[in-house]
């Protein structure tokens, strides 16, 4: 029996690895051949958080500008967000503000958000430092989690941290 149902969203530019993170979390698999998400991809997973059986609806929003008009529709009812950028891409980091503001405008500041710095397995190509990432996270009182969908590092803990925060908010 499910104790809690949560809706979380992944937000960020196209190509930052949102779909790869979701599939690593749900199926513990990685593919470099994922195609760009067209519109939205909805996946589900049941997890145990503390003593609660949680059904997670995970909405992976396409990051391309063409889907901007659909954001409001998909963000409605979201209880938390993973805001994802690619540590190899200055552009994805520069665009964080747009993603964060979209979520805050539609869902409010009180909804949990985590900043996800993805692709940390490629350190030699990294252009966004951990210090830069931490400074941005601090601006919005977000926790920063550095991940790699390719290796799986911190992926499960990132999702579980967000789900734990959402569940705590719901129970409160």
- The domains located in the chain, with CATH, are 4-171 (3.40.50.300)
Residue 130, both tokens: 């951990």
Query: What count of other Cβ atoms lies within 10 Å of the Cβ of residue 108?
Result: 8
Q: What is the mean pLDDT of the chain?
A: 91
- Tens digits of residue pLDDT in 108-145: 999 999 999 999 999 999 999 999 999 999 999 999 99
Residue 25's closest CA among 130, 156, 171? 156
pTM of the predicted model as reported, rounded to 2 decimal places: 0.92
- Tens digits of residue pLDDT in 53-111: 999 999 987 755 555 566 678 889 999 999 999 999 999 999 999 999 999 999 999 99
pLDDT given at position 38: 45
pLDDT given at position 67: 52
Query: What count of other Cβ atoms lies within 10 Å of the Cβ of residue 167?
Result: 22
Q: Could you tell me which residues are beta bridge partners of residue 9?
A: 59, 81
Evaluate if residue 18 carries a pLDDT over 90.
yes
Task: Count CA atoms closer than 13 A to 43's CA, side-chain side.
Answer: 17
């Amino acid at each position: 029996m499910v104790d809690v149902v949560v809706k979380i969203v992944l937000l960020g530019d196209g190509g930052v690895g949102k779909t790869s993170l979701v599939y690593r979390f749900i199926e513990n698999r990685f593919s470099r051949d994922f195609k760009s998400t067209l519109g939205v991809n909805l996946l589900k997973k049941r997890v145990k958080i503390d003593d609660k059986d949680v059904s997670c609806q995970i909405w992976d929003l396409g990051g391309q500008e063409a889907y901007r008009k659909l954001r409001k529709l998909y963000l409605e009812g979201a209880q938390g967000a993973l805001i994802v950028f690619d540590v190899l891409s200055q552009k994805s980091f520069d665009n964080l503000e747009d993603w964060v503001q979209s979520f805050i405008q539609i869902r409010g500041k009180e909804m949990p958000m985590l900043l996800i710095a993805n692709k940390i397995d490629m350190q030699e190509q990294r252009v966004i430092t951990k210090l830069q990432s931490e400074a941005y996270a601090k601006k919005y009182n977000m926790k920063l989690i550095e991940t790699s969908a390719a290796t799986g590092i911190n992926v499960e803990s990132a999702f579980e941290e967000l789900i734990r925060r959402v569940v705590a908010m719901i129970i409160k």
